[in-house]
Amino acid sequence: MADELNFRLATADDLPAVLDLLVAAGIDEREDLELDGALAIWPLMQARGAELLLMEQGEGPERQLLGTLTLYILPLLAHRQASEALVEDVAIAPEAQGRGLGRRLIQHAMQRASAAGCYKLVLSSNQRRVEAHAFYERLGFERHGFSFVVPLDATRG
Domain ranges of the chain: 5-138
The overall pTM is greater than 0.85: no
CATH fold of 5-138 reads: Aminopeptidase (3.40.630)
Residue 58 CB partners (closer than 8 Å, separation 6+)? 2, 64
Express each pLDDT in 97-124 by its tens digit.
889 998 999 999 999 999 999 998 888 7
Express each pLDDT in 15-66 by its tens digit.
999 999 999 988 888 888 899 999 999 999 999 989 999 999 988 888 899 9
Cα 156 from Cα 103, distance rounded (Å): 39
Cα 52 from Cα 2, distance rounded (Å): 22
Task: Give the torsion sign (CA, 123, 129, 130, 132).
Answer: negative
